[in-house]
């Protein structure tokens, strides 16, 4: 029997008179006091429980900051000042390397400060929430206003009041999603229970949030796949019903006005132009979701991004474990790339992953296909919209987001991976703009079939000297456009990778293998090709067994384009 039942039964005796009325009044007052006390006790109990769990996240965040500082040669004073201990004493072969390293070290100091800020923010929020709940112990106004129907309801009201909820992620940064360092610090400040709750209750918070570990982004995006698919299907059904209804209205109107049987002009596309435009966008989203769902079902894949809020769908898919792989490659495709057609890129990344792992003597490799920007399409309206392959706008915007994705990979791991940036065609331009930003943590870059990197020299890219490579196939006209900066084929300091037929050199895991040559613009990642092999050597950090050499492009061969 519950306490509520006992109180009710105490007043159920069959007696009447003034004593009975007085007893009933006393019992009603007692019951109201019990409700108040139960609300207060339940609120405080839940508040203390929530605070105890939340504070484990704060402790973990502090320990993570300390580990970050130790791992990166930083010192944190008792007042919270972060100092670079190891950086000032280092020596570098070139001034460029010194500048790149200096920017990296400043970035590490700032990241350490940002992570501390997130730990302090969480601690302050825990303190404020607990104070709010404890004040309810003297029946704060919010609780006093409640009128529960039973003593059990009173405990439920108190529990709800004492539940602090989840701590929202940072804002700011690209698209209001916080910077990679902010997000990493916020995630570290959550207890394991809070992290699980975010994944299942708010997957939209972290699915596209750089700085959150890949495995959690993957879990969140798998949940979002189902949610987004159901939403898109529902929207399509509504719009198709509206279209059918509009058609029936047109037919009826034409019948009423003697429109030659009523069907002439009922299928005029102009009548449905607004609905068809919305339907086309939703069907593109549906196709994109179907592709990502297929990739999510394949072994060893992680879904690191899914965004339907921009003009065209965007997605980021990895093969391999980005959280643990020793080598991580991020590939950015160019003109015409779409999420719906992502399976082909993913297949190339799977093959490149296997090649690179073998060249790296079995070390783990993860390869990411990054379509996290509005890549230009082969569309007559693209120039008018500003999203044209002839313009740099999409590459610059994409470069900002790509740079933050690079930072996020490093920020989400306790140990930095060996990180390679890969860019093809307009994607190489996007990659070039990303690498002009400091502190991306990229160790090497390889570009292929590029219309330009947005720079005139490799010193303008924030990667170490001698770590930028370029491959250009014979008869590839895009590689000679010089549309966005200098032609990488003739750029000083750029390693030139062979794309013609060749033999894998001694010392390579593929020594003695015949490698196929490629031509034109789209074959660079063909399995078994010289260009694929060379790109794998870059990813595996085995440039010592790369096949060097320049393959002239479409116009380089005759020499008239470049004097």
pLDDT in tens, 425-482: 999 999 999 999 999 999 999 999 999 999 999 999 999 999 999 999 999 988 877 7
Cα–Cα–Cα angle for 466, 468, 469, nearest 5°? 110
Rounded to the nearest 5°, which phi and psi values hold at 418? -80, 105
**CA dist list (Å): 207 to 80, 166, 214, 283, 323:** 32, 16, 9, 22, 15
107: pLDDT strictly greater than 80: yes
Q: What is the per-residue pLDDT for 26?
A: 60
What average pLDDT score do residues 253-259 get? 71
Whether the CB-CB separation of 184 and 191 falls below 8 Å is answered with no
Euclidean distance between CA atoms 185 and 516, whole angstroms: 47
Q: What is the per-residue pLDDT for 262?
A: 46
What average pLDDT score do residues 66-94 get? 91
Nearest CA-CA partner of 285 in 212, 339, 337: 339
305: pLDDT strictly greater than 90: yes
Euclidean distance between CA atoms 452 and 479, whole angstroms: 8
Written as six digits, the tokens of 168 are 């929202």
Helices then strands, counting H and E runs in the chain, come out as 15, 12
What average pLDDT score do residues 253-262 get? 64
Question: What confidence tier does 143 reach under pLDDT thresholds 50, 70, 90?
Answer: low
Q: Which of 137-146, 260-269, 553-562 has the highest mean predicted lDDT (pLDDT)? A: 260-269
Q: What is the per-residue pLDDT for 150?
A: 58
Strand 444-448 to 82-84 pairing: unpaired
Instruction: Check residue 269 and report its DSSP letter.
Output: G
Question: What confidence tier does 558 reach under pLDDT thresholds 50, 70, 90?
Answer: very low
What average pLDDT score do residues 369-394 get? 74
pLDDT in tens, 70-82: 999 999 998 889 9
Question: What confidence tier does 254 reach under pLDDT thresholds 50, 70, 90?
Answer: confident
Question: What confidence tier does 41 reach under pLDDT thresholds 50, 70, 90?
Answer: low
Question: What confidence tier does 89 reach under pLDDT thresholds 50, 70, 90?
Answer: confident
Question: What confidence tier does 110 reach under pLDDT thresholds 50, 70, 90?
Answer: very high
69: pLDDT strictly greater than 80: yes
pLDDT in tens, 189-206: 999 999 999 999 999 999
3-class secondary structure, 453: coil
Euclidean distance between CA atoms 339 and 427, whole angstroms: 14
Instruction: Kindly write down the DSSP assignment for every residue of 341-389, as one continuous string.
Output: THHHHHHHHHHHHHHHHHHTTT--EEEEEEE-S----S-TTHHHHT--T
37-46, 222-231, 354-363, 447-456: segment of lowest average pLDDT: 37-46
pLDDT in tens, 491-536: 989 999 999 999 999 999 999 999 999 999 999 999 999 999 999 9
Q: What is the per-residue pLDDT for 9?
A: 54
* pTM for the structure as a whole: 0.86
Q: What percent of the chain has pLDDT over 90?
A: 62
Q: What is the per-residue pLDDT for 123?
A: 87
Q: What is the per-residue pLDDT for 126?
A: 80
pLDDT in tens, 312-370: 999 999 999 999 999 999 999 998 899 999 999 999 999 999 999 999 999 999 999 99
156: pLDDT strictly greater than 90: no
37-41, 319-323, 407-411, 537-541: segment of lowest average pLDDT: 37-41
183-197, 251-265, 298-312: segment of lowest average pLDDT: 251-265
Looking at every residue in the chain, the average pLDDT score rounds to 86
User: In this predicted model, which residue has the larger pLDDT, 271 or 169?
Assistant: 169
């Amino acid at each position: 029997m519950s306490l509520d039942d006992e109180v009710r039964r105490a007043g159920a005796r069959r007696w009447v008179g003034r004593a009975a009325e007085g007893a009933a009044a006393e019992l009603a007052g007692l019951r109201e006091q019990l409700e108040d006390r139960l609300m207060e006790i339940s609120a405080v109990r839940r508040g203390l429980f929530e605070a105890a769990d939340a504070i484990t996240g704060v402790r973990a965040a502090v320990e993570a900051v300390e580990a970050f500082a130790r791992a990166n040669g930083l010192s944190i004073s008792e007042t919270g000042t972060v100092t670079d201990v190891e950086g000032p004493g280092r020596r570098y072969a070139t001034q460029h390397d010194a500048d790149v390293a200096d920017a990296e070290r400043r970035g590490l100091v700032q990241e350490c400060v940002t992570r501390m800020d997130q730990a302090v923010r969480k601690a302050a929020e825990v303190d404020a929430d607990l104070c709010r709940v404890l004040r309810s112990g003297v029946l704060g106004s919010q609780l006093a206003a409640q009128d529960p129907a039973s003593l059990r309801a009173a405990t439920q009201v108190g529990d709800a009041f004492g539940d602090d909820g989840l701590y929202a992620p940072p804002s700011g940064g690209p698209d209001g999603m916080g910077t990679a360092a902010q997000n990493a610090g916020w995630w570290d400040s959550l207890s394991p229970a809070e992290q699980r709750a975010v994944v299942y209750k708010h997957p939209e918070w972290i699915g596209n949030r750089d700085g959150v570990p890949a495995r959690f982004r993957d879990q969140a995006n798998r949940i979002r796949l189902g949610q987004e698919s159901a939403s898109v299907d529902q929207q399509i059904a509504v719009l198709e019903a509206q279209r059918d209804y509009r058609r029936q209205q047109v037919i009826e109107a034409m019948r009423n006005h003697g429109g030659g049987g009523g069907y002439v002009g009922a299928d005029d596309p102009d009548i449905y132009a607004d609905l068809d435009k919305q339907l086309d966008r939703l069907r593109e989203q549906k196709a994109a979701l179907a592709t990502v769902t297929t990739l999510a079902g394949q072994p060893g894949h992680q879904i690191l991004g899914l965004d339907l809020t921009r003009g065209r769908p965007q997605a980021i898919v990895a093969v391999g474990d980005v959280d643990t792989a020793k080598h991580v490659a991020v590939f950015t495709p160019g003109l015409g790339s779409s999420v719906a057609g992502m399976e082909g890129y993913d297949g190339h990344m799977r093959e490149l992953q296997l090649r690179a792992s073998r060249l790296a003597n079995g070390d783990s490799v993860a390869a990411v296909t990054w379509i996290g920007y509005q890549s230009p399409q082969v569309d007559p309206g693209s120039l008018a919209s500003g999203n044209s392959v002839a313009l740099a706008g999409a590459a610059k915007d994409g470069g900002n987001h790509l740079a933050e994705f690079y930072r996020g990979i490093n920020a989400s791991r306790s140990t930095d991976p060996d990180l390679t940036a890969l860019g093809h065609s307009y994607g190489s331009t996007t990659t070039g703009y990303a690498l002009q930003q400091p502190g991306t943590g990229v160790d090497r870059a390889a570009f292929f079939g590029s219309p330009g990197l947005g720079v005139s020299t490799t010193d303008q890219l924030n990667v170490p000297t001698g770590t930028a490579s370029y491959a250009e196939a014979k008869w590839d006209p895009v590689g000679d456009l010089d549309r966005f900066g200098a032609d990488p084929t003739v750029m000083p300091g750029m390693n030139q990778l062979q794309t013609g037929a060749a033999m894998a050199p001694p010392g390579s895991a593929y020594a003695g293998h015949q490698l196929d040559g490629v031509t034109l613009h789209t074959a660079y990642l063909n399995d078994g090709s010289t260009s694929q092999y060379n790109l794998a050597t870059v990813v595996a950090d085995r440039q010592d067994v790369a096949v060097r050499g320049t393959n002239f492009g479409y116009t380089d061969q005759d020499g008239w384009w470049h004097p």
